[in-house]
Chains A and B, each alone.
Chain A
Amino acid sequence: MAEILVLAEHSGETVKKVTCELLTIARGFGEPAAVWVGPGAEAGRERLAEFGAVKVYVADGDDLDDYVVAPKAEVLAALMAAKSPAAVLVAATPEGKEIAGRLAVKTGSGVITDAVGLAPGADGPVAEQSIFGGAIIVQSRVTTGTPIVAVRPNSAPAEPAPAAAELEQFAVEVSDAAKTAHITERVVQERGERPELTEAAIVVSGGRGVGGAENFALIEKLADSVGAAVGASRAATDAGWYPHQFQVGQTGKTVSPQLYLAVGISGAIQHRAGMQTSKTIMVINKDPEAPIFELADFGVVGDLFTVAPQLTEEIEKRAGS
């Protein structure tokens, strides 16, 4: 069976959830081989094995991580030349998409980004995308070269299927051309223990109705009660109530969690474009006419300042009992 390369996303030795999802998807039409760039592969191997990686190609250079995306694209291009995989999958994070883009140019292959599903087809894998703010569903495929597909986190549940995850060192001499954008510092801003926004199974977002930065504590408490990530609408980030990197919407992050809880968000198209593919949507808003209710699987028309704390309390009560 043909090999499917899956670029492993990891922070240090910890494999991210999206990589387990991608391995699960890859099993549907080939033999998944993870690609590990940087140190930590030995420790990360176990989780890759659990989710079906038959092999793990390890490109472990000291400086691979010190430059913006170009070295990772070179590693993948070299692997594509050496292993002739049937497809290459990356996570559709901003960085993953950039890697996919550079790889497509290097190899002359077609690239599809933001797939929310990927299925085998007679002429290669068929990707499903949700476009124009979720209004249209498109099935597309790569017709030239090796399909390069960036798949959104939470597109498929990660299902274990143990495999060998045999480590294979793959030495790549990264060119000087790939070392021109030098990362000199990584600044970690406070996020606490919350999951990453695009990876989280549950996202709780606050909008204009939250009314101020100090009130976001309410959103955070609700999020923490269900182990969720916190998001914000553009109105909230533009007003400076919550940091910009947490913005969900057309000019911010796109999320498709199992559960999206929109609190005090009216649901302008700008916002819907970033969350419409969420599996289940819950809404708390005092305006019954708010367009976000059109998307709601469950909605409460009411004051978020009483409904949200009551919900938090109820969740904690149930967790405690």
Chain B
Amino acid sequence: MNIVVCVKQVPDTWAERTLRPDDSRLDRASVDGVINELDEYAIEEGLRLAEAHGGEVTILSMGPDKASESIRKALSMGAAKAVHLIDDGLAGSDALATSLAIAQVLGRTGFDLVILGSESTDARMGVLAAMLAERLGVPQLSLASQVDVDGTAISIRRQADYGYDTVEATLPAVVSVVEKINEPRYPSFKGIMAAKKKPVETLSLADAGIDPGQVGLGSAATEVVSFAKRPPRQAGTIVKDEGDGGVKAAEFLAAQKFI
């Protein structure tokens, strides 16, 4: 089975993240990059499926030079090889452009299964799996908390507010996974050493056959009008419980007309 896992390098959630004043884009230079946490679950699921059904996992990442750190981490977990779409012309791409570029690369690599994390921790849109399925014309099996493959049949549990849906389809397909699905492995020392020798193919827009006019900030279908730091919340009232903490809390709720 040819499994492609999409991986995004994101700023560390623990760092203070800001937008650049000149172009309202994420200031990526000022913060450490890490692999998008939810993508680790996607990698783990890909590795487990490859181990159970044969085949290999290819990592696909779009991003600047620094994204190679996340690609190495993914390879050290056990993926066989990687494709890195890297081009200055991609900077500032919105979700539409990102899905277009990734779909184009997936057309080159081919796939039985594309696996993504359900969202990235920076943009948090949660639309890429749906957009890729739309562009590629394959089943959308998103928000999976369980994935079962049997030959070319695939079935997932799709997380819902009320519980879950069982969704069935035929490969090839696009899957996105939620955090509940598995426990991602830590790279072993052997894995880290092996990752250094694994092939990473770098592609420019031209290599991938992507029209530069359709990606990047210039093509974005949305624009930031303005942004500002959230004003700090007004300091609240903090009381120490002296046997009547619950009563005081109730008084606050009553004063605010919640009860």
Q: Which residues does A use to contact B, with CB under 8 Å? A: 68-70, 73, 93-95, 97-102, 104-106, 108-114, 121, 126, 130-145, 177, 180-189, 191, 196-198, 202, 226, 244-245, 247, 250-252, 254, 258-259, 269-270, 273, 280-282, 284, 288, 293-303, 306-315, 318-319
Contact = CB atoms under 8 A, between A and B. Distances in A.
A141 B221 CA distance: 9
B228 A186 contact: no
B94 interface: yes
B111 to A, nearest CB: 15
Nearest to B225: A139
Contacts of A314: 246-247, 249-250
Given A191-B162, A307-B245, A315-B259, A101 B127 contact: yes
A130 B227 CA distance: 10
17 contacts: A70-B140, A94-B126, A101-B130, A102-B133, A104-B131, A143-B220, A144-B220, A184-B167, A188-B163, A245-B163, A252-B179, A280-B256, A281-B233, A282-B249, A295-B233, A297-B234, A300-B238
A182 B143 contact: no
Give the bracket for the number of chain B residues in contact with chain A: 35 or more
Interface stretch (B16-24, B75-83, B186-194): B16-24
Contacts of A144: 220-222
A122 B236 CA distance: 37
B162 A98 contact: no
A98 B128 CA distance: 8
B125 A70 contact: no
Interface string B216-252: 0000111111111110011011111100111111101
B259 A226 contact: yes
B250 A98 contact: no
Contacts of A93: 161
Contact of A298 (B142, B170, B236): B236
Given A105-B134, A141-B225, A187-B164, A250 B13 contact: yes
B249 to A, nearest CB: 5
Contacts of A303: 241
Given A68-B165, A108-B221, A111-B96, 10 more contacts: A101-B125, A137-B229, A142-B222, A181-B167, A187-B165, A288-B240, A293-B236, A295-B233, A300-B245, A301-B245
A137 B228 contact: yes
B169 A182 contact: yes
A282 B239 CA distance: 11
Contact of A137 (B126, B140, B227): B227
B160 A113 contact: no
Nearest to A300: B245
A100 B128 CA distance: 11
Contacts of B94: 110
B109 interface: no
B241 A182 contact: no
B180 interface: yes
A138 B167 contact: no
A269 B240 CA distance: 24
Most chain A CB neighbours (cut-off 10 Å) among B121, B223, B245: B245
Closest 3 CB pairs of A and B: A302-B241, A310-B246, A110-B221
A136 B142 contact: no
B95 to A, nearest CB: 7
A121 B165 CA distance: 40
A247 B159 CA distance: 12
B159 A298 contact: no
Nearest to A183: B165
B60 interface: no
Nearest to A104: B96
B99 to A, nearest CB: 7
Nearest to B18: A136
Given A226-B259, A310-B246, A189 B162 contact: yes
Nearest to B247: A314
Contacts of A108: 96, 221
Given A114-B125, A180-B138, A142 B225 contact: no
Contacts of B161: 93, 196-198, 245
B257 to A, nearest CB: 10
Interface in B156-210: 157-170, 173, 178-180
B254 A318 contact: yes
B221 A143 contact: yes
Most chain B CB neighbours (cut-off 10 Å) among A99, A288, A314: A314
Nearest to A319: B259
B139 A188 contact: no
A113 B126 contact: yes
B198 to A, nearest CB: 28
B124 interface: yes
Contacts of B139: 68, 180-181
B71 interface: no
Interface in B75-123: 94-96, 99, 118, 121-122
B166 A97 contact: no
A142 B252 contact: no
A177 B17 CA distance: 40
B141 interface: yes
